[in-house]
Chains A and B, each alone.
Chain A
Amino acid sequence: MREAETTNGIPPYIRAIRSTRQIMLMVLLALLPAVWTGYCHFGSEAMYHLAYTVVTAVSVECVCQLVLKRPVTILDGSAALTGLLLGMCLPPAAPFWIGPAGAVVAIVLVKQMYGGLGCNFVNPALTARALLHISWPTQMSAFVKPYEAIAAVTPLGVIADYDSTQAVPSMMQLFNGEIAGCIGETSAMALMIGGIVLIFLEVIDYRIPTGIMAAVFITASLYAGPGSSIGFSFNNGLIHLLSGGTMLAAFFMATDYVTSPITPKARWLYGVSIGVLTVIIRLWGAYPEGLTFAILLMNIVAPLMERLTFPRRFGEVR
């Protein structure tokens, strides 16, 4: 494990055109539309959540690096990004300390304890989110109706509960984000804008989000629920696609450079696997939010996917 000290940093040794800070800044900016819709729907309390989480993330990283006698790199924006992404995953009515608790886990346990930027083997924000779900399930389900502060159930929760009396929201509502959900996850439109911009700027690879979305849509469409007579339902597929943080995770979480595969084929495989696994967990598992665990599992096996799909070198004997 001391290899990283004798070499210049972490492989791959590719000189990038953009610095870490520039990339982080672009992603942060791409998230702004979603932050704005979060504010519109859930008010300033939601913004406080985001602020607490981001501030905790950055300060914890600073403290860690000072304690471990490493160079302090909070200005590269990665801690802030992790904090923001985690904040976006919180339900609006959650207690104020949940975001900071998650931020501490994400930065300290998943990132700094392994050596800092580039050394984590799973996505910090998602790991923290998963731990929060396991540790405080009730607090993490404190969803409210947008514009009003009444407790509500998310669309995925509604369709999971087949005989629920609540109406499933319309497609327009799902797209706009006028649904109950986590702070930054509700507006598919805002997230897509940010995501597509990032793809155009070549900050993220289109393969991963496309793979995830296509897989989620198709897999979800194949299962229509016990009530219906037809084999599949595109409606179901769309609901799964547009809610439950699919967009947020597809564009911003699964595409994290450190934990996603490098080769193009592996990226497709990664994306599709995430999508299929997500729907399976959502439909039959105990946690309505399947994406978190799906991505984490794929993060862990990403190196294997890479090995499987390395381009064959000329003359190499297998």
Chain B
Amino acid sequence: MTGIKTAAGSVHLQEIGQGLWGQNPLLRLGLGICTALAVSGSFRDSCYVGLVVTLLLMASNTVFAIFGGKVPQKLGLVFKITIIASFITAADGIMKIYYADIHQNLGIYLPLVAVNGLAIASSDAMSQHGSVASAVCIGLGMGLGYSGALLSLAIIREVLGTGSLGDLPVLPIGFSRILAMLHPSGAFIALGLLLGLFSFLKQLLSPEQESKESQI
């Protein structure tokens, strides 16, 4: 009994790990770029988005794991989108009530999380067994992976662009802030460089895996 449990446990950890590093939605799979670019100007907003995304992925994956088998093939996509959109609507509503100013900042980018392929990809990544625990772990992993990447980008942009993280001044006074980081072009360039850095690190740390994947 214990043996099976630990085996299952390590599989789940592996799944979480995949979402964080190997299959990182933003840095590896290139999903959720629109939202990432838009909200990474502010570290605080990015925290909230990251949280929402993680919870969304876990929740929707759970629903898919439980009900997925019962939906006819043709309606599969519509079903998924409906579930995801419903969760986003709920999140949006909660934000409107409790975090009105952040909701204002995010504007349309929060609802767009519903369609930017992120959640769908995570549902596709669910293991064949369809166990609920596995689904939740994948959702958690991808959500955390996305949040981590998003926050890294946000830190770069906000620190270089405004010299401070929220209310915390980070850069020394003499250092001139790079306003371009707050502009759209800075966002694109920063994300591109971040992706490049990630790709480079991945190559460095696991060259055999890289060459296998690049041959696909």
Contacts and interface: CB of A to CB of B under 8 A. Distances in A.
A145 to B, nearest CB: 25
Contacts of A136: 176, 178-179
Nearest to A113: B196
A135 B189 contact: no
B180 A134 contact: yes
A136 B160 CA distance: 12
B176 A134 contact: no
Given A109-B189, A134-B185, A139 B176 contact: yes
A303 to B, nearest CB: 20
Interface in A94-113: 95, 109
B96 interface: no
6 contacts: A95-B176, A131-B180, A134-B185, A135-B178, A136-B179, A137-B179
Nearest to A133: B180
A143 to B, nearest CB: 18
A279 B181 CA distance: 27
Contacts of A109: 189
Interface in A115-157: 131, 134-137, 139
Interface of A: 95, 109, 131, 134-137, 139
Interface in B134-193: 176, 178-181, 183, 185, 189
A134, A135, A137 interface centre (most CB from chain B within 10 Å) = A135
The 5 residue pairs across chains A and B that have the minimum distance between CB atoms: A135-B180, A134-B180, A135-B179, A135-B178, A131-B180
A99 to B, nearest CB: 14
B211 to A, nearest CB: 15
A95, A131, A139 interface centre (most CB from chain B within 10 Å) = A131
B186 to A, nearest CB: 8
Contacts of A134: 179-180, 183, 185
Contacts of B189: 109
Contacts of A137: 179
A139 B175 CA distance: 13
A135 B178 CA distance: 5
Contacts of A135: 178-181
A241 B115 CA distance: 49
A147 to B, nearest CB: 28
A130 to B, nearest CB: 9
A135 B181 CA distance: 8
A97 B176 CA distance: 10
Contacts of B178: 135-136
A139 B178 CA distance: 12
A95 B176 CA distance: 10
Contacts of A131: 180, 185
Given A109-B189, A134-B185, 5 more contacts: A95-B176, A134-B179, A135-B178, A135-B179, A135-B181
B190 to A, nearest CB: 11
Nearest to A131: B180
A136 B176 CA distance: 8
A296 to B, nearest CB: 11
B193 to A, nearest CB: 9
